[in-house]
Structure 1
Amino acid sequence: MSDVTAVVAIGANLPQADGTPAIETCRWAVEQLRRIPGMRVAAVSSWWESAPIPPDPRSPPYVNGAALLEGALGPEALLAALHAIEDRAGRVRPYVNAPRVLDLDLIDLGGVVRDGPAPILPHPRAAGRAFVLMPLAEVAPGWVHPVLGKSVETLIADLPAQQIARLAS
């Protein structure tokens, strides 16, 4: 596979087992992304705080960001690398949309469109989530959703109200 650009969403809302806070886990995850053979981190967004979607009063706010990666990994290999990083952080999956120590989602891989096998591309829920789109706009301004044909800026403008705020650096 020739070099492609990948967009990875980064999120966390629980501390790691050793007490490491979510923001530090997200920063750690960026360092782990830098170690994926065959990929390089080209850009990292600001960090954002967002309310869980769907709303869950038992779930603390999330820290979210995005990274732009460039390299030659295919979708299955890149997804496996992302899952390995989540596993090293201590991620468990007790139920759908459960609070988590780390969540790394492959949002886009060079505009590839696929319904399966995993990963589904582009990420099926990315276009409706401010916590994905706001950081994505920082690392890939002008990015166009490969199915909807809309720019990230248009997708943001079309979003319903969602609780999200940029964190101080």
Structure 2
Amino acid sequence: MKLIVIAIGANLPGPDGAPAIETCRRAAAALDRLPGYRLASLSRWFATAPVPPSPSSPDYVNGVALLRPEGDGDVANAPAALLAALQAVEDRFGRVRPYLNAPRTLDLDIIAMDGLVRDAPDPVLPHPRAHERAFVLAPLCDVAPGWVHPRLGITAAALLAAVGEAGTRAIG
């Protein structure tokens, strides 16, 4: 089965004042409504410290969604369209980009698309730093510990073991 890995994160209230965890839940529901995709699985939510560290920035809520393309769509031709759709969802949740690694109301990142490897154009796949980030790997292991990084040939569980889970904790 073709699967697409999407990281979900937020550390600011939504435009309606909703807490970050509620924004993340709503974003996961929005992913299930994207044309041509269905939500196949959703991780638990994790609280994580900002990366890079920022004492003035609140902790993030992070999770991972697995999307399944509907029909016989060619995943290799879909990255740019999916990225645009994710950015439209971010916009609806009040995402602004004042500077690199700024706190945000919502962040949706394509981590991987069915083993696709590409260096350009955007999005680069798999995500170039996902394998270094516990805030991606911990929720990914929640839903797909056997997922194999397409470039490294290493499972999500082994990648998480290598980086450690420091700074992440399951919520609830």
TM-score by length of 1: 0.95
Match of 2:144 in 1: 140
* Aligned partner of 1:52 among 29, 50, 53: 50
Match of 2:112 in 1: 108
- Cα deviation per residue 1:53-97 (whole Å; 9 max; x = unaligned)? 000011100000000001035111111111110000000000000
Counterpart of 1:64, as a letter, is N
Q: What SS class does the counterpart of residue 28 from structure 1 fall into?
A: helix
| Contact 1:51 1:162 survives alignment (8 Å) | no
Match of 2:167 in 1: 163
Q: Percent identity?
A: 58
Moved more, 45-54 or 12-21: 12-21
- Cα deviation per residue 1:22-66 (whole Å; 9 max; x = unaligned)? 000000001100110110000000000000000001110000000
| Contact 1:83 1:104 survives alignment (8 Å) | yes
Distance 1:137 1:99, change over 3 A: same
- Distance in 1 (CA, whole Å) between partners of 2:85 and 2:143 is 21
Alignment gaps of 5+ in structure 1: none
TM-score by length of 2: 0.93
* Aligned partner of 1:38 among 10, 21, 36: 36
Task: Give the CA RMSD over aligned residues.
Answer: 1.2
Alpha-carbon offset, residue 118 of structure 1: 0.6
Equivalences for residues 27-106 of structure 1 within 5 A: 27-71=25-69, 72=73, 74-106=78-110
| Contact 1:11 1:102 survives alignment (8 Å) | yes
